[in-house]
């Protein structure tokens, strides 16, 4: 039996309709559909499954994050497959797969995930933590979503933020006990994978299956126009060539502290008013 766990909110509220495409893709399989948000106890749900049953997660990066945290510390005996129905799909990009690909197993990618601690709360995360203008973009996007059902243009938000609205911070970053200080920090995300923000290759050399380390990318020290010129290169990972304003630090335990409260995003979920976050690698 294949249990399809879909997130109706994924893909700008198209998650259920996209999940139904599995009737065609897996025409010879027996499918049982469940709204992932309606499952109140994952422990109880998983205990009802036979060992040969499969789970098919349908959603985006936020859905993967939700499932990983909902099943934290549970030993799942079943094969977990993933069918991407999200809008950003950075996990999919990181695995170099295209949208529409048939469901594929992801059990290994849900093990030994890194944790983030911020504002007194600890969570697992799948792709990365955005802090700086990327967190600001999610903050603004949330406001836009409350006012309209139109798709959010994150690139436009980022450009307007760089030019007019977002002001960089000073930061202290501690990597495995060693401190680094930076002025005029625009970005300071810590990553488990290479991509975030709907296709930004912010840490080109980060390997999500290397559970020993995570990477923090710091974009700093430059003015608005220089930052705006370099920023588009992040979609291909070319921003790292600008070593005068971009540095990648890798370690097991990373703490980032800003000198004023700033929005943060965890796999796309916004957390407001954060001055400090800590990430620890999975092992």
Residue-by-residue DSSP string for 183-221:
EEEEE--EESSSEETTTEE-STT--TT-TT-EEEEEEES
Please, are residues 164 and 133 in contact by the beta-carbon 8 Å criterion? no
Give pTM, 2 decimals: 0.93
Q: In the prediction, which pLDDT does 147 show?
A: 85
Do 267 and 189 lie in one domain? The reply is yes
Dump pLDDT digits (tens) for 16-31.
Answer: 999 999 999 998 889 9
Mean pLDDT (whole number) for 233-260: 96
What pLDDT, on a 0 to 100 scale, did the predictor assign at position 11? 85
Token pair recorded at residue 207: 């390997």
We report the CATH number of the domain holding residue 234 as 2.60.200.40
Q: 143 and 70: one domain?
A: no
In this structure, are 189 and 232 located in the same domain?
yes
**pLDDT at position 17:** 93
What pLDDT, in 10s, does the model give residues 185-229? Answer: 999 999 999 999 888 999 999 999 988 999 999 999 999 999 999
Q: Residue 90 sits in a domain of what CATH number?
A: 3.40.50.10330
pLDDT confidence of residue 237: 96
> Could you list the residue range(s) of the whole structural domain that residue 15 is in?
2-110
Q: Do 168 and 231 reside in the same domain of the chain? A: yes
């Amino acid at each position: 039996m294949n249990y399809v766990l879909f997130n109706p909110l994924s893909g700008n509220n198209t998650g259920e309709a996209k999940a139904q495409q599995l009737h065609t893709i897996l025409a010879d399989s027996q499918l049982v559909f469940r709204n992932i948000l309606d499952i109140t106890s994952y422990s109880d749900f998983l205990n009802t499954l036979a060992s040969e049953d499969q789970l098919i997660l349908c959603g985006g990066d936020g859905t993967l994050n939700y499932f990983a945290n909902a099943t934290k510390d549970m030993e799942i005996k079943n094969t977990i497959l993933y069918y991407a129905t999200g809008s950003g799909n950075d996990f999919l990009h990181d695995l170099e797969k295209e949208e529409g690909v048939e469901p594929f197993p992801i059990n290994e990618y849900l093990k030994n995930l890194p944790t983030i601690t911020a504002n007194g709360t600890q969570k697992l995360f799948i792709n990365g933590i955005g802090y700086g203008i990327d967190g600001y973009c999610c903050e603004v996007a949330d406001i836009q979503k409350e006012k309209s059902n139109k798709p959010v243009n994150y690139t436009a938000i980022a450009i307007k933020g760089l030019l007019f609205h977002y002001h960089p911070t000073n930061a202290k970053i501690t990597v495995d006990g060693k401190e680094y200080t930076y002025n005029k920090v625009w970005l300071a995300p810590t990553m488990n994978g290479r991509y975030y923000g709907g296709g930004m290759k912010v840490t080109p050399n980060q390997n999500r299956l290397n559970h020993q380390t995570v990477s923090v990318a710091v974009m700093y020290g430059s003015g608005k126009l220089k930052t705006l010129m370099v920023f588009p290169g992040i979609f291909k990972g070319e921003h790292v060539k600008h070593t005068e304003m971009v540095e990648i630090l890798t370690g097991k335990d990373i703490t980032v502290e800003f000198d004023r409260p700033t929005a943060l995003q965890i796999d796309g979920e916004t957390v407001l008013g954060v001055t400090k976050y800590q990430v620890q690698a999975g092992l």
